[in-house]
Structure 1
Amino acid sequence: MSGPKAPSSVGRLPTAVADEMVRRLFDDGDPESDDRILFPGVGHGELVEAVARYCERHELDFPESIALETNEELVEEAREKFDELPLEVRRLDFLGSLPDLGEFEFIVSDPPVARLHELSQEVREDLAMRFDTISADGPGRDEDYYLAFFEQGLGILAAEGRLVFATPDFTSKQGHSAIPELKRRLTTFHIEDIDESPVESPYDQAELDIVITTVAHAEPDSKYASEVDFEGVQEALTVTYDIGVADIMTQDPVAFYSDDDVHSVYLTLVRNDYDAAPVRDRDTGECLGLVSKAELTGADTGTLADGYITDLDESRLISATASFDELLTQLREKRFCVVGTADDIRGIVTRFDLNSMEVYFHLYAKFAQFEIGLRNAIRDYEIDWDDALLEAGISWTDIKRRRKEYREKSEVAQDVLDTLLLSDLIKIVENSRLQAEIEFDRSSLGVRPSAINKLRGSVAHYQPLIHTMDSLSLPKQRTAENFGEVYDALNESLQALESRNYI
């Protein structure tokens, strides 16, 4: 690090200060067997020794730990001094480009300090590009290098983890506390509390008193976090997107005549991706029936009049004003429907038209309602979501990752549930008393709840909703009948949630 004044530590920590820092580190509970500790800027290892003393006093195993240090001599010193502890000492700059170290339940350090205005513009710009807490232009006289340590540390601190730093006194030269500003800069990290306790420095060269600063992850502080009208957001997301036959049909399809060549008609159907089309009398324009691509497969010679025209069955007709639900009911039975009347054909709609963009929009709105309804129901029944996920087989590591993802989105999420995927919400309902309350099981819905999530995945990633025109298919292919069953289950669940005012 270059600059007029290089960042430096506040000095060797006295044993009493190091022990007090470690006491606060474990104030919410002793480290468990799978917890990890990070020692950024380990220096001479005073804090490692303090953790070792704490573990010895409380008859605990020293947790798996990683220590980082840039000074090669100090790295070797730490490796020799702590070679019997489960401590990996690595020569890395904590504020540099770190490899994936994973998350840590505890982070404790005596970070280097330096006023930002005393660093060169080049150094400030480099830090500002990588850390939101650092100002490149015109930093205040009380802004310090250690802010980046807070940001970097909180970025890899596990859910409900604790971070303890020895820092300069947060009180500015003007006598104002810097805590509100620190909270503002770190608001996305869900600071539970910043506990500052000055400790008189025994070193003449230290300009400021030492402060033990403890930061814990928890709910965001509403005083510093942005307010979001979550009810307004939900209301906006629960607007339905209703569609009907007219939105997805092929309008005014190409019509053929009874004396048209079968081979030419077949090629036209393939080229236009039609499953069927009307056949008319060339002189009167009267509709004689339909010709389907399936009927013409393998036909080489002749005209449509040679037995390839199918009568227009009344059951195949559907009104242009029919709803999507009415259309789906018919397509579950028939490969295609004719829109209009025998005398006035307005269009044709096939099973593959269920893959049209309008259907995706229609389903997207339904799934938004569904997810919001499940979240509100889980909140209302006060379901312990992490216990339910553990019951469903989700590992504790993955649950902690979900908590971390929530912290990163805290300004737009009112709680962890807002950041969980539908698959998680379904597992929570299936593994709690809520399942019986809203009849969310296969016997009630007719399909596995996971099938609803699979359909939602197809909608989210714009994958085909219908894989085949046939009624029977391979196991992983979704037919119109399969689609209809899941669609019915989704609607039944929405009705159950709406009847309980969760939507």
Structure 2
Amino acid sequence: MNYSEDTKSVDQVPPDVADEMVRRLFADGDPKPDDRILFPGAGYGELVGSVDRYCDQHGVDFPESVALETQEDLVDLARKEFELLPLDVFQLDFLGELPDLGEFDYVVSDPPVSRLLDIPPEAREDLAMRFDTISAGSPAQDEDLYLAFFEQGLRMLAPEGRLVFVTPDFTSKRGHLAIPEIKRRLSTFRIEDIDESPIESPDDDVDMDVVITTVTHAEPDPDYATEVDFDGVQEALTVAYDIGATDIMTQDPRSFYPSDDVHDVYIALVKNDYDAAPVRERGSEDCLGLVSKAELTGADTGTLADGYINEIDESRLIPATASFEETLEKLRSRRFCLVGSEDDVRGIVTRFDLNSMEVYFHLYAKFARFEIGLRNAIRDHRVDWEEALMDGGTDWEEVKYRKGKYSEKTEVSRDVLDTLLLSDLIKIVENSELRESLDFEKSELGVHPSAINDLRVAVAHYQPLIHTMDTISWTKRRTTGDFGDVYDALNDCLGRFESTRYV
């Protein structure tokens, strides 16, 4: 697949950098004879050579390994240079359709680097079909191809395996800000730890603008179930994923000019699903106002200069620093808002944008804290959860079923509450003394607690968060107003939990 002519990696990893990567790869102990190593994008074989040197220095056998490379000349070079090693070299695209190569105890690579914006749309769309870390539509400025290498590497990493990659530190002059993006985008993987740091070799003074990232993920071991750090798990889940207006807006929306034909503009707005778009002065690019799709409906002659340019209403503007809460509040009364200022419109955010992936992640973090808070409150008050469930209409057979499900997960669950659904936890609170102590009633929350669970289900299954773009609807579809009410109730509960240290 042709990703881009600009696709490149750190050109031939220097020996001292390669050695530092391998040192971290085997930080928990030397490789065993039956271990397997994968070298995605073998390049000139620097990492293979470094592993070979490590094995010689430590008196261990070079493990059974597989190297993948797309360039035929580099494949031939690796086969010739390492012909005495137990290494299979294949001419395969690591991000393409791979044969079943099995799992690997170690994955080490210098992945290719290329902004997704620089990759041809058809190639990007193909990648997005197979990788959660790749955006097909409008990728953010910092989205890069190497994220897919992380995702593919973790797919092939054995339980308790270790992955080490080196990437340029291009995200910030102050350095090393790529890792939060990796953590967010790889949230579907069971990652035990991500250790990212610049190269600081104890033996060599390596001064390069690169970051070595070590990722490990492990399955729980039943033999050590009593040592599970539940507090650590809770702490990890309660880290809030904060977003703002700039995270969900359409960045750099297509602009039009006063001389543009109204029919062409209308078609473009429909095609891009825009309610409105900026109109700029040709040459200076100063923002002159807005053109509205609604006002162009039925117009088929003339230009935008013929009375179709509207002044920007200040009430429709939100600053680029606006939080998600501020953005949501504005969208409860406006179908769309402009992000920025009158002379610097940076984007457009609409009610439809509330269904974006960033909002799902934002809500997921809140619901994780919400469930933790409910469980801790139930434990703290020693609520008889079985009796509360049955008082709420759950029959005894269902209660026994839930107890049975817990028995299958005792190695990773503290108690039955850890395996109950949010709907069960809500029912327990509603049918116990906690209902009053937590003000867990519609009159206090503003919505019925079941509405919070309904939104949680939509987040869990990536269903629409907003069913209609209206603020008021006679149907049972979730409107922007409904969403805002549930969101306020959720935040209100979290505030109470935090004040009582339940989260």
Relative to the length of structure 2, the TM-score reads 0.54
CA deviation map 1:404-443 (0-9, x unaligned): 1111111111111000010110111111110111111100
1:272: Cα distance to partner? 1.7
| Amino acid in structure 2 at the alignment position of 1:258 | P
Task: Kindly state the Cα deviation for residue 249 of structure 1 after the two structures are TM-superposed.
Answer: 1.1
Distance (whole Å) between structure 2 residues aligned to residue 274 and residue 223 of structure 1: 56
Alignment of 1:318-333 (within 5 A): 318-333=318-333
**CA deviation vs aligned residue, 1:114-166 (integer Å, no higher than 9, x gap):** xxxxxxxxxxxxxxxxxxxxxxxxxxxxxxxxxxxxxxxxxxxxxxxxxxxxx
Deviates more, 1:486-495 or 1:244-253: 244-253
Rounded to whole Å, the distance in 2 between the matches of 1:224 and 1:491 is: 36
Say whether the 8 Å CA contact 1:317–1:338 is kept in structure 2: yes
- Asked if structure 2 preserves the Cα contact closer than 8 Å seen for 1:316 and 1:334, the reply is yes
Q: CA deviation at 1:300?
A: 2.6
Name 1:447's counterpart in structure 2. Answer: 447
Q: How does 1:163-242 map to 2 (within 5 A)?
A: 225-242=225-242
Distance in 2 between residues matched to 1:403 and 1:455, nearest whole Å:
26
Q: Do structure 1's residue 398 and structure 2's residue 398 form an aligned pair?
A: yes
SS at match of 1:501: coil
Give 1:226 shift. Answer: 4.5
2:314 maps to: 314
Q: For 1:251 and 1:370, how far apart are their aligned partners in 2?
A: 32
Measured in 2, the distance between the counterparts of 1:437 and 1:337 equals: 39
What SS is found at the alignment partner of 2:349?
A: strand
- Letter of the 2:404 counterpart: K
Structure 1 pair 223/409, CA: closer, same or farther in 2 (3 Å)?
closer
* Residues 447 and 485, structure 1, Cα contact 8 Å, conserved in 2: yes
Within-5 A mapping of 1:359-374: 359-374=359-374
CA contact (8 A) 1:253 1:277 kept: yes
SS at match of 2:411: helix
Cα contact 2:373–2:497 (8 A) shared by 1: yes
| Contact 1:317 1:341 (8 Å CA) reproduced | yes
> Which residue number corresponds to residue 214 of structure 2?
none
Q: Given the superposition, is the C-alpha separation of residues 224 and 254 from structure 1 closer, same or farther in structure 2, using an over 3 Å criterion?
A: closer
Aligned to 2:484: 484
Output the amino acid matched with 1:449. Answer: P
Give me the whole-angstrom Cα distance separating, in 2, the residues matched to 1:227 and 1:284: 64
Paired with 2:469 and 2:497, the residues of 1 have a C-alpha distance of: 33
Q: Which amino acid in structure 2 is aligned with residue 271 of structure 1?
A: K
Q: 1:304 to 1:473 in 2, by over 3 A?
A: farther
Q: Name structure 2 gaps, 5 residues minimum.
A: 1-221
Quick check: 1:433 aligned with 2:433? Answer: yes
Which residue in the other structure is 1:286 paired with? 286
Give the Å deviation of 1:287. 2.0
Counterpart in the other structure of 1:462: 462
Give how far 1:361 is off. 0.5
Tell me the SS of whatever aligns to 2:227: coil
When the two structures are aligned, how many residues end up with a matched partner? Answer: 282
In 2, Cα distance between the equivalents of 1:371 and 1:364? 11
Deviation at 1:252, TM superposition (A): 1.1
The 2-side partners of 1:340 and 1:473 are apart by: 30
Give me the whole-angstrom Cα distance separating, in 2, the residues matched to 1:471 and 1:311.
24
CA shift at 1:303, angstroms?
Answer: 2.3
Distance 1:478 1:298, change over 3 A: farther
Which protein has the larger Cα radius of gyration, Structure 1 or Structure 2? 1
CA distance in 1 between counterparts of 2:475 and 2:457 reads: 17
The whole-number CA distance in structure 1 between the counterparts of 2:474 and 2:308 is 29
The correspondence of residues 19-30 of structure 1 with structure 2, limited to 5 A, is none
Alpha-carbon distance between aligned partners in 1 of 2:279 and 2:286, rounded to the nearest angstrom: 8
Partner of 1:153: none
Measure the CA separation in 1 of the matches of 2:279 and 2:468. 25
Q: Verify the 8 A CA contact 1:227 1:411 in the aligned structure 2.
A: no
RMSD: 1.7
Aligned equivalents of 1:352, 1:362: Cα separation in 2: 16
1:421 maps to what in 2?
Answer: 421
Q: What is the CA–CA distance in structure 1 between the aligned matches of 2:430 and 2:399, rounded to whole Å?
A: 17
1:339 corresponding residue in structure 2: 339
1:233-252 to structure 2, matched below 5 A, reads 233-252=233-252
Given that 2:256 and 2:280 are in contact with CA atoms closer than 8 Å, whether structure 1 keeps it comes out as yes
Question: Are the counterparts in 2 of residues 320 and 339 from structure 1 also a CA contact under 8 Å?
Answer: yes
Query: How many Å apart are 1:474 and its aligned residue?
Result: 4.6
TM-score, with structure 1 as normaliser: 0.54
C-alpha change, 1:286 and 1:407, in structure 2 (3 Å) is same
**Aligned residue identity for 2:463:** Q
Deviation digits for residues 33-78 of structure 1 (CA, Å, limit 9, x no counterpart)? xxxxxxxxxxxxxxxxxxxxxxxxxxxxxxxxxxxxxxxxxxxxxx
2:350 & 2:223 partners in 1: Cα distance?
56
Task: Report the Cα distance in structure 1 between the residues aligned to 2:378 and 2:500, rounded to whole angstroms.
Answer: 12
Deviation string for 1:264-321 (max 9, x for gaps)?
A: 1111112222221111233553322111222223333332233332220111111111
Aligned pair in 2 of structure 1 residues 284, 225: CA closer, same or farther (>3 Å)?
A: closer
Q: Output one character per residue of 1:468-498: Cα deviation in whole Å (capped at 9) or x when no partner.
A: 2222335232111111110000000000111
**Alpha-carbon offset, residue 397 of structure 1:** 1.0
Aligned-pair CA distance for 1:371? 0.1
- In structure 2, how many angstroms separate the alpha carbons of the residues matched to 1:225 and 1:265? 63
Task: Check conservation: 1:312, 1:342, Cα contact below 8 A.
Answer: yes
Q: Which amino acid aligns with 1:426?
A: I
Measure the CA separation in 1 of the matches of 2:492 and 2:412: 30
Cα contact 2:225–2:412 (8 A) shared by 1: no
- Asked whether the equivalents of residues 403 and 416 of structure 2 are also in contact (C-alpha less than 8 Å), the reply is yes
Partner residue of 1:304?
304
SS in structure 1 at match of 2:278: strand
Which has the higher mean CA deviation after the structures are superposed, 242-251 or 365-374?
242-251
Helix, strand or coil for the counterpart of 1:411? coil
Distance 2:240 2:283 in 1: 46
Q: What is aligned with 1:58? A: none
Counting aligned pairs with the same residue, the percent is 70
1:385 aligns with 2:378: no
**Equivalent position amino acid for 1:422 in 2:** L
- Give the Cα separation in 1 of the matches to 2:336 and 2:225: 54
